[in-house]
């Protein structure tokens, strides 16, 4: 049995058959880099990281392309508002390119903490303006796009008969629903911008055959996916909020030009809510990863995300996060005991009961990447491991075999690392801080306040704050 994937295009689970096996071309819409990454990013990119890992583990040669949106994404998400990056640049008194690079670095930094592998190609929209102009020019020549008297260029949606095949929206609905946002020079309300003319005050603009302007948001993904993968992609991923208008528009732009199917499997992760409501800056429940990582280990967040299936809504709350931490620690303790026992060993032969559990794990992953089931199977294998560990004559070869399978399941496929962190044992940094706290305690007992204050102040300078309690001294790290 091979891999099955729920395809948003057909709304069904389908057998996964890439265009040119064993090669797989996978494109996932990347972040718009105008602020630090939030919980929604963590979910989406963890999901696609696991997909990427599982496909690779299954023997596919995957090229994973992810874009960086550094121009064209407007605050209104359609064709209205100002550019998100340019707006942030004004706020921070920086150049747009400084903003884009700052938050791109910040994004990859957060993704690394979550043990998310880098894509094979990370490409920036601003590096592909020439290709975008070529693509738009070809759409105009084919009659799918038009230039207005204001030098804006729109895709004429009515000319593309398959519009709506992904989102299920029919044109009339779109028309009435989006009427409020009609730009003055569009022929029809549903038409979307491929290129917009820029006035002098605009911070990011390029020369084009239609004068100075900047690209619309959707065009970059059609152009960069074609450049780095081809006219037909095996997998295109993104958050469910990208289905409309972004992915619907991508299909129109790409298929109108090539006449070929743009995507074989469209995969969308469901949304993330916070305490039952949509997360939003204006709602006051917006969670930035850098803030969250001060409270929880990134690996616990990854574990938490994967406990839900990617097509379910994930509702984040402190309580459910703490419950996940308990489960994570239980798993970590069991795995640590196993690794301690089997360190530096290699197994010989196979064990049928272990293989059976392992194949259940693979089956769960093959079945539309069912990570919650896969995680429950790991618990099953750990039960077997604990039973073996508790025997007086435990079979070290079997334990080694189990530990090798656990490494594949956790490190390789789910990307959850347990073996680097020793359960119940503090890391070196914690040990050093504890040692300094102990020294400070002694100085204080000797009434050597000069030394005890030096320790406290030096730690403070390093971002480590000591808090003296009644019984002991606790600390926080910024
Ligand atoms: Zn995209």
Distance 330 CA to ligand 1 centre (A): 39
Distance 67 CA to ligand 1 centre (A): 8
**What is the C-alpha separation between 52 and 41, in angstroms, rounded?**
16
The pLDDT of residue 78: 60
Distance 15 CA to ligand 1 centre (A): 24
Distance 361 CA to ligand 1 centre (A): 31
Distance 398 CA to ligand 1 centre (A): 47
- CA-nearest of 385, 51, 75, 83 to 206 is 83
**What is the C-alpha separation between 345 and 404, in angstroms, rounded?**
10
Distance 30 CA to ligand 1 centre (A): 7
Torsion from C-alpha of 84, 65, 152, 199, nearest 10 degrees:
40
DSSP string of 384-426, one letter each residue? HHHHHHHSTT--HHHHHHHHHHHHIIIIIII----TTS-TTS-
- CA-nearest of 336, 338, 371 to 354 is 338
Question: Do 424 and 332 contact (CB within 8 A), yes or no?
Answer: no
Domains in the chain: ranges and CATH: 16-269 (3.40.50.620), 289-414 (1.20.120.640), 428-477 (no CATH)
- CA-nearest of 418, 416, 391, 394 to 336 is 418
Scored b (16 or more CB within 10 A) or e, 266-297 reads bbbbbbbbbeeeebeeeeebeeebeebbeebe
pLDDT in tens, the chain (478 residues): 699 999 999 999 999 999 999 999 999 999 999 999 999 999 999 999 999 999 999 999 999 999 999 987 777 656 667 788 888 989 999 999 999 999 999 999 999 999 999 999 999 999 999 999 999 999 999 999 999 999 999 999 999 999 999 999 887 655 544 544 555 899 999 999 999 999 888 889 999 999 999 999 899 999 999 999 999 999 999 999 999 999 999 999 999 999 999 999 999 999 999 999 999 878 888 899 999 999 999 999 999 999 999 999 999 999 999 999 999 999 999 999 999 899 889 999 999 999 999 999 999 999 999 999 999 999 999 999 999 999 999 999 999 999 999 999 999 999 999 865 444 445 567 778 888 998 999 999 999 999 999 999 999 999 888 888 777 787 777 7
Rounded (10°) angle between helices 428-445 and 449-461 = 150
- Which helix (H) or strand (E) segment holds residue 193: the answer is strand 192-197
Question: Do 208 and 41 contact (CB within 8 A), yes or no?
Answer: no
Give the pair of three-digit tokens for residue 422: 């020793």
Burial label for 121, CB within 10 Å (0-12, 13-18, 19+), is middle
**What is the C-alpha separation between 175 and 72, in angstroms, rounded?**
23
């Amino acid at each position: 049995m091979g891999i099955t994937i729920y395809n948003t295009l057909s709304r069904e689970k389908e057998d996964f058959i890439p265009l040119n096996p064993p090669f797989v071309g996978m494109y996932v819409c990347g972040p718009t880099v105008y602020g630090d990454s939030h919980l929604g990013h963590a979910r989406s990119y963890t999901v696609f990281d696991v997909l990427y890992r599982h496909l690779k583990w299954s023997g596919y040669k995957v090229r994973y392309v992810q874009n960086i949106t550094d121009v064209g994404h407007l605050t209104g998400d359609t064709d209205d508002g100002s550019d998100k990056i340019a707006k942030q640049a004004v706020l921070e008194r920086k150049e747009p390119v400084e903003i884009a690079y700052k938050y791109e670095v910040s994004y990859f930094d957060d993704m690394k903490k979550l043990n998310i592998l880098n894509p094979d190609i990370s490409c920036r929209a601003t590096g592909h303006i020439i290709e975008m102009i070529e693509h738009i020019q070809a759409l105009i020549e084919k009659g799918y796009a038009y230039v207005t008297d204001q030098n804006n260029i729109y895709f004429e949606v009515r000319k593309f008969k398959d519009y709506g095949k992904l989102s299920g929206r029919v044109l009339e609905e779109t028309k009435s629903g989006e009427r409020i946002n009609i730009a003055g020079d569009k022929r029809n309300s549903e038409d979307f911008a491929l290129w917009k003319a820029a006035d002098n005050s605009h911070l990011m603009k390029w020369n084009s055959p239609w004068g100075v302007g900047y690209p619309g948001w959707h065009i970059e993904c059609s152009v960069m996916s074609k450049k780095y993968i081809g006219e037909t992609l095996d997998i295109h991923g993104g958050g469910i909020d990208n289905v409309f208008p972004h992915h619907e528009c991508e299909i129109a732009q790409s298929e109108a030009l090539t006449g070929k199917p743009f995507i074989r499997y469209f995969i969308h992760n469901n949304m993330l809510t916070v305490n039952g409501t949509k997360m939003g800056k204006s709602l006051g429940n917006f969670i930035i990863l850098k803030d969250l990582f001060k409270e929880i280990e990134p690996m616990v967040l990854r574990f938490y995300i994967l406990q839900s299936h990617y097509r379910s809504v994930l509702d984040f709350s402190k309580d459910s996060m703490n419950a996940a931490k308990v489960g994570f620690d239980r798993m970590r303790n069991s795995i640590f005991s196993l690794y301690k026992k089997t360190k530096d060993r290699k197994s010989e032969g196979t064990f049928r009961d272990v293989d059976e559990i392992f194949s259940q794990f693979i089956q769960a992953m093959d079945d539309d990447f069912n990570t919650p089931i896969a995680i429950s199977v790991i618990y099953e294998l750990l039960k077997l491991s604990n039973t073996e560990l508790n025997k007086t004559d435990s079979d070290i070869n079997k334990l080694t075999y189990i530990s090798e399978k656990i490494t594949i399941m956790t490190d390789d496929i789910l990307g959850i690392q347990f073996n680097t962190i020793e359960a119940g044992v503090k890391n070196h940094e914690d040990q050093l801080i504890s040692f300094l706290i102990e020294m400070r305690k002694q100085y204080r007992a000797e009434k050597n306040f000069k030394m005890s204050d030096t320790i406290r102040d030096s730690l403070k300078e390093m971002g480590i704050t000591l808090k003296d309690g009644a019984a002991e001294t606790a600390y926080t790290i910024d």
